[in-house]
Amino acid sequence: MTFTEKWLTMGLLCLSGSVIFWLPLFSDIFYIPMQNAFGFTKTQMGILLSTFGAVALIAYFPGGWLADRFSPRKLITIALVITALAGFVFSTLPSFEICLILFAIWGLTSAGILWSAMIKAARCWGSKEDQGKTFGILEGGRSISDVISTTILLMIFAYSRGDDRAVPEIIIMISFYILVLALLVWRIMGDDISNNKKQPKVTINEIIYILRLPVIWLIALIIMATNTAMWGTIFFTPYATEVYELGEVGGGAIGAGKYWVTPFAAIAAGFFADKIGPAKAILGFCIVMTAGFLIFTLIPGSPALLPYLIINVAILTAAVYALRGTYFSLLEQSSIPLAFTGTATGIISVIAYTPDIFMPTLGGIILDAYPGASGYQYLFLIVSFFSMIGLVAAYVIYQKIQKIQMRSTV
């Protein structure tokens, strides 16, 4: 692979790993406008996202199996095409029942077809010594894609004076973009990046071996805590809109603004993790994440505290995306065989992404039951609890790796 081909491949991985989630996570930036355009309650909004999460959870494991057998080029192209076609249906503002089907389809394409293929391709892209940088660049690139796109989409929405009738138009734009990206992946990305043909096939014995590794479950807990926190950050938009009274455009600006932090956090975290060790870096990021959500839990929101909101949102977003940019580098530091990367990723993801099932619905139920600032305090308390679980898991992994390194030096 030439230098140009290598970086084009990473660019396509970044873009694909970003746009695959734009439609199912449309409410991240356009929560209130989407709710108004479709006429859904907060609970229904949560159920849609939980449907996406439930299907994704089921699809992660077979998706890992697929990633160890088929090239990322084929899998990513198929995932993007199906996602785009479902997006065109979504733009017609269909019924709640049809939306449930669409969100289930997106759960299948993102988790069952694209996710593990992207992770394995990224691990093969970088050297053993550069796994922190590799996954930091991947997450940073995905974040840059999110930053630019959400800012442009928010500007389009603001230009329409925040009119909910702009929602279908934005969905159509996203769907066309995903379709064009699918064509680029098919034409540019090579079939040989993951070297599947040169690696042994995964059998039931290898799956049992992976399941018995304690580090697999510890990594899963760290990612589960981070994913719960990510859902917490998604609620920053309605939190700013309703509690801080910023309005729909102002709340959307908070949601889009946090994306400006993510690429710098992910890429810097990757280089930092390679310098001091992924396990040690991840432990520090977990401490910051837990403390940030505890602050939101203990301090009630109000328009007078807007500066504190902006600062804490920036710090929390940096911590969450620093983790997202480094936690898969633990696969290499924990000596998980490269040939089993897809399967290991699938197994980890089954546990790691369970918050996709319960967090959206739980968040909607809590916010419907406790309107205003108190509802968000209860929600952020739950996120803090899961962050603590991730903190404990990160500490255990750090201790295990420290002991291994001490033995190797004796």
- pLDDT, residue 17, reads 93
Task: Pick the most confident of 21-25, 162-166, 327-331.
Answer: 21-25
Comparing CA positions, the residue from 380, 363, 378 lying closest to residue 295 is 380
- pLDDT, residue 199, reads 56
CB 34 within 8 A of CB 353: no
Q: Is the pTM of this model over 0.85?
A: no
- pLDDT, residue 3, reads 77
Mean pLDDT of the chain: 86
- Three-state SS for 24? coil
Comparing CA positions, the residue from 204, 319, 171, 342 lying closest to residue 258 is 319
For the stretch 220-263, pLDDT in tens is 999 999 999 998 988 888 888 888 777 777 777 777 777 778 88
Comparing CA positions, the residue from 14, 43, 35, 8 lying closest to residue 370 is 43
Sketch the domain layout of the chain as residue ranges: 3-189+202-409
For the stretch 102-114, pLDDT in tens is 999 999 999 999 9
How many angstroms separate the CA atoms of 88 and 86, rounded? Answer: 5
How many angstroms separate the CA atoms of 40 and 207, rounded? Answer: 42
State the pLDDT confidence band at 163, using cuts at 50, 70 and 90.
confident
DSSP classification of residue 243: T
**CATH dotted code for 3-189+202-409:** 1.20.1250.20
Q: Among 14-18, 163-167, 247-251, 367-371, name the one with the lowest average pLDDT.
A: 247-251
DSSP classification of residue 129: G
How many angstroms separate the CA atoms of 228 and 108, rounded? Answer: 20
The residue written with tokens 């916010």 in the block is: 367
CA distances from 22 to 83, 138, 145, 153 (A): 10, 17, 11, 11
